[in-house]
Amino acid sequence: MSAVIEEHHDDHDHKPTGIGRWLFSTNHKDIGTMYLWFSFTMLFIGGSLALVIRAELFQPGLQFVDPELFNQLTTLHGLIMVFGVIMPGFVGLANWMIPLMIGAPDMALPRMNNWSFWLLPAAFGLLLSSLVMSLMGMGSAPNFGWTFYAPLSTTYGPASTDYFIFSVHLMGISSIMGAINIIATIINMRAPGMTYMKMPIFVWTWFITAYLLIAVMPILAGVVTMMLTDRNFGTSFFSAAGGGDPVLFQHLFWFFGHPEVYIMILPSFGIISQIIPTFSRKKIFGYSSMVYATSSIAFLSFIVWAHHMFTTGMPVATELFFMYATMLIAVPTGVKVFNWVSTMWQGSLTFETPMLFAIAFIFLFTIGGFTGLMLSIVPADFQYHDTYFVVAHFHYVLVTGALFGIFAAIYYWIPKWTGNMYDENLGKWHFWVSTISVNVLFFPMHFVGLAGMPRRIPDYNMQFTEFNQIASIGAFVFGFSQLILLYNIIKTIRGKATEKATSQVWEGAEGLEWTLPSPAPFHSFTTPPTVK
């Protein structure tokens, strides 16, 4: 009997090392780390595609790529950034932080956690293989835009479209499993005394985001399955010749796609709501209104999808409904911005790198919000639709919104993760170069869009040259400035040239910061964090 107990004890203490540690890990920190590194890797791949696009657009005419390859690059850039960078980045942060913030020893379903991560490299390996084959002259990568509208993707899509469909299914399965895990963890594993209205805002935003994921991912799965049968099994869901409707595709896609936009921004709202109070030395202003505003945004995200489709032709009453419903989302979003600014009001502010990114987020995300309001106005949208104005709008939301939120989170929490402080000077260099260049990159797109430059076209009229050159210069500076972040992260992890982090890294408002029993990374804590 004692031998059995001893053997069991040895198994319990066994920790895999080397590659096995990462392949088979069920530790939420290891899995969170893998998600974050995967996201960072995809950022450089997707960003490289964007730089080829911007190099082509530096001047009119065709320089580097033909229109067919240009379409493949824009398609894969969008898919990689949405599904390969922003979403895995946020899931990595959720894996790392939610158990620590609610006092749980790990995620509720650790083996499923491992599986949901490892589906992602398989999915993106499949997707990127089509680009490799295209570059080798063995076919074409998906070339129909990241929204893969039928009939471009069904009737006219290349053979690699079936790879793309399988890849999207794998991403969807991964997302649904991750969301189930987050919900199960938050509902079942909160520390005693932590009621829902005592949870950190980051936990709340992910709780709501996880429900959104479970609601909309099956719709995406359904629409790509219908694509698959239209392409291979003789159905005609989206073919008018067989009694189907191409516009049905757009309704289904955007019923998934618009909540997806909020899936990509709500966790950022949570991150900013953790950072602003800490560096203002005040509690968040209007905690409960933040929770209700997040819930309102999630609900409204389901009833605005057709604002992407005003130019498909719909009854005026329908246009009015979607116009006013879209404008309504500005109200809870405005509540959040008001609460963040009110938290800073009369606070003892300091401007470390996470706070700089958080403040930039508020300004620049708000620009994206205002241009979104412009796009919600039906007659105006007829002019803006499919121009670079739309490109500028959603990049202000997803780059200076979602991506800047991830940057802020990395600087805010990396001392907790590694036990070492990052290099503050490098952090500030990264912030200023990124913030200036991202505006040089995307702000001119508003002007060329308003003047009528269409998106997804590799050539353009001479009158747009100067603004495109400015944008391309901004793109290259912004792209290469991310190497500063990479260097800073590696330097912090190695910890030789940086100071050690204290157990209370940021001197926040009393009761705001949860404390770790030890700054040592990657090991399960026996004592849960203190909940104040």
Catalytic residue numbers, as ranges: 77, 106, 146, 174-175, 258, 260, 262, 273, 307-308, 333, 336, 455
Name 478's Cβ contacts closer than 8 Å, sequence gap at least 6.
433, 434, 437, 438, 440, 441
Query: Would you say 185 and 102 are in contact if contact means Cβ atoms under 8 Å apart?
Result: yes
Side chain identity at residue 466, one-letter code? E
Spatial contact of 180 and 112, defined as CB atoms under 8 Å apart: yes
Rg over CA atoms, the chain: 23
Residues contacting residue 113 through CB under 8 Å, at least 6 positions apart: 26, 28, 31, 95, 107, 177, 178, 181
Structure tokens at 87: 């979403």
Q: Which stretches within 136-245 are classed as H helix?
A: 161-188, 201-232
DSSP string of 234-250? Answer: ---SS-GGGT--HHHHH
Helix axes 266-280, 330-344, angle to 10 degrees: 20
Paired tokens of 392: 């500028």
d(CA 377, CA 279) in angstroms, rounded, equals: 38
Residue matched to tokens 């116009």 = 323
- Whether the Cβ atoms of residue 217 and residue 178 lie closer than 8 Å to each other: no
Asked whether the beta carbons of 313 and 295 are under 8 A apart, the reply is: no
CB 532 within 8 A of CB 457: no
How many degrees, rounded to 5, is the angle at CA 87 between CA 404 and CA 18?
Answer: 100
CA distance 524 to 423: 27
